[in-house]
Structure 1
């Protein structure tokens, strides 16, 4: 029977590139790589392997994050919540395509501070001796760092699950529903799927994304015959238990990047000035304010920044920051239960938006769910799983599915929204098939 971690030991080490460490350890069962691009949106990277506890399965719809209240997952835990589990109160039960919640606990972990250019090895255990041994194990991983060789494209085919015309029709229908007063906004997605070549694996897709396309919340995680590869730029939630500060950074509004500097600047300026994109962003800011207010001290929820343009390798995004001060009894389970699924990938009002999404989409699985890390004292960092592919190993071949969506509002143009999904999908498509 697994024991609760009651001891923590840390060891400092000189800087080593976390991508090289992840590459050296490889992508086997239990491998974890939460890799930041080192920019202002993502200071920390984390690498680990060999979890000692794992749980995969369905959840209670009334308390989907109840497992996080188990002391076993109080620190050193990683979780993946599928979008469909959070949407179920609005949509009812549908066929399950991915486990509702996947959890694993890591006794040993490496954390890389991109700002200070330092590394911390953390060991946790039921005894001081176990924690020390775990920290020493993590330090050994640094010596396995390997030159990162970018693999060739591991898939041949990248096939849409429905024609583009079906997506345009869905957008037009949502615009009609908005005009009828049914809702204000809904994020509607397109899906692509396929298989990797025999002998190829999802870790290669992850390594390809790390080259020139790295993001603040890049991730690789494998549990058994399932793996996740994410290139997300979006923070869902961050929680600092010492200050009680909660932070959410919803993304709404996108423009492509351009190779020409002047054209690229013009696209960023266009996004910043776009009344449509600002309105879309503001709706989600208001939604997140409402969600955070459920678990925050009265009067503490604030909009720290509004309509900031962030530049990523393939897109410009419009980002806002909402903060709050958590009530005394609030921890990761309460935070996630109050806010999941993320407002930026559902819509407003959230409950009705999820119903509309279900009318036009099959189950999303991990896409637009959340991948989260629980640190000491209940610290939480959770990303929104956009720019993400889920993989399942079947008959020795890894099959994948990935999606891209756009926020649909009253004046959305179906062709423009389709084009936006193509831009958002470009990095993942290139990582999979090379074009």
Structure 2
């Protein structure tokens, strides 16, 4: 039985993470539901309470490289979890794009001679204790697999408060250098090559990205994440220490997969119940005032190119869900809507399905990863074109990250808007979907819009 305690700690997840960092915590993780989006909140149609809680943890007790880490967790038992603890993470991890490139057919793309990616393997960590911050009620709860595990996580925080440190240690100043990995004109040329493939009927759509090089001259990953989160708050924000000196700082706006446990299933059941995904396609920068914002939203919502792009990706996602869903259960949740974030407007659609009886969790992940939202249509051919045209392997980018909760719910965000650092050096990919009427120059500009939060972080602008 899990141990649940209300904690007298500040309801500030970044401050708690800072104290743990100062105490030498290893494999720190912060799942940070920062200020959610505005118009058309991406989590609202799901009715899943997303964005209410942030979680902080450190000191994992088990690792897994399987798509489904619960296959390595013989102690997992949904029926023994107190209601208040059901949403607390048990496993937290990353599922890189590279881990699913087995779908590509070698005969359809050249031998890959590009440098290795910063992140290639699935990596899950099980945390014996987690601190949760409830942003709705302002309370802080601790959930542990034992009293000892919970105390080990909370003790450094209590010590800091006893010592009179009511304020967390000051975050070190961030000095971030951002540079193009290659001439931007090369991205334009790749878009033209993709358009020629589309005209020839090779595929209908492909997502192409370019890489920005990062150098963290001053500061640490947590201070960088805080800067990114201020510039572009997200209900799926995360700071993850994946390995020694390997960090992910992401403010992804996109839900890749929310999977509920099957209702009333026996303890050894390894399938899902309801499945949700929310692909995003179509982007505009924020305007200078409310009137300009309204005009940009209206233009995005009416743009035939953006509507066609999202429509095609919804079809790909429906197809992926259809491979593992009960017949006739794949349904849209209303019409696509424009979602407004701090720096951008996006157009998003929501889909729901019910997993077919007998389909294992791992099979669902195999069907869905990587998402059609960030590959193209048809998906496998789009992945092969990506491998042929992009000059760098993607690593985590357009894979996924997130958690498996004690109550059996999976919440995975799309691996986008993510700075990945190994030591002081790192990368940030930015891309967009290419369809028949895409304009190469405009596609390059869209990649710049999607890197606005990164530029603001580098310039020290909090984005207000």
User: Does the Cα contact within 8 Å between 2:69 and 2:91 map onto a contact in 1?
Assistant: no
Give the corresponding residue for 2:150.
Answer: 135
Secondary structure of the structure 2 residue equivalent to 1:86: helix
Cα deviation digits, residues 104-158 of structure 1 (max 9, x gap): 110001223334444332112xxxxxx2332344555665574485653322x31
Shift of 1:258: 1.6
Residues 107 and 66 of structure 1: CA distance in aligned 2, closer, same or farther (over 3 Å): closer
User: Does the Cα contact within 8 Å between 2:318 and 2:330 map onto a contact in 1?
Assistant: yes
> CA–CA distance in 1 between the matches of 2:75 and 2:284?
39
Note if 1:154 corresponds to 2:168. no
Secondary structure of the structure 1 residue equivalent to 2:318: helix
> CA–CA distance in 1 between the matches of 2:171 and 2:323?
45
Note if 1:18 corresponds to 2:13. yes
- The correspondence for 1:123, drawn from 144, 147, 150, is 144
User: Does the Cα contact within 8 Å between 2:172 and 2:220 map onto a contact in 1?
Assistant: no
Shift of 1:352: 0.5
Matches within 5 A, 1:12-161: 12-13=6-7, 16-26=11-21, 29-39=26-36, 40=41, 41=43, 42-55=51-64, 65=67, 67-71=69-73, 74=76, 76-90=90-104, 92=106, 94=112, 96-97=116-117, 98-124=119-145, 131-140=146-155, 143=158, 146-147=167-168, 149=170, 151-155=172-176, 157-161=177-181
> CA–CA distance in 1 between the matches of 2:448 and 2:154?
41
Give the corresponding residue for 1:384.
Answer: 414
> CA–CA distance in 1 between the matches of 2:284 and 2:315?
22
User: Does the Cα contact within 8 Å between 1:122 and 1:134 map onto a contact in 2?
Assistant: no
Matches within 5 A, 1:331-350: 332-350=361-379
Secondary structure of the structure 2 residue equivalent to 1:158: strand
Structure 1 gaps of 5+ residues are: 1-6, 57-63, 125-130
Residues 55 and 70 of structure 1: CA distance in aligned 2, closer, same or farther (over 3 Å): closer
Secondary structure of the structure 1 residue equivalent to 2:2: strand
User: Does the Cα contact within 8 Å between 1:123 and 1:138 map onto a contact in 2?
Assistant: no
The alignment's TM-score, normalised by the length of structure 2, stands at: 0.82
Secondary structure of the structure 2 residue equivalent to 1:281: helix
User: Does the Cα contact within 8 Å between 1:24 and 1:146 map onto a contact in 2?
Assistant: no
Secondary structure of the structure 2 residue equivalent to 1:211: helix
> CA–CA distance in 1 between the matches of 2:156 and 2:11?
11
> CA–CA distance in 1 between the matches of 2:134 and 2:312?
34
> CA–CA distance in 1 between the matches of 2:309 and 2:156?
44
> CA–CA distance in 1 between the matches of 2:6 and 2:335?
37
RMSD of aligned alpha carbons: 2.4
User: Does the Cα contact within 8 Å between 1:151 and 1:208 map onto a contact in 2?
Assistant: no
Give the corresponding residue for 1:4.
Answer: none
Shift of 1:175: 1.1
> CA–CA distance in 1 between the matches of 2:54 and 2:105?
35
User: Does the Cα contact within 8 Å between 1:310 and 1:318 map onto a contact in 2?
Assistant: yes
Structure 2 gaps of 5+ residues are: 44-50, 77-88, 161-165, 264-272
> CA–CA distance in 2 between the matches of 1:226 and 1:114?
29
Q: Mean Cα displacement is larger for which, 381-390 or 36-45?
A: 36-45
Cα deviation digits, residues 227-278 of structure 1 (max 9, x gap): 1110100110011215522110111110000221111111111111111111
Give the corresponding residue for 2:80.
Answer: none
User: Does the Cα contact within 8 Å between 1:38 and 1:115 map onto a contact in 2?
Assistant: no
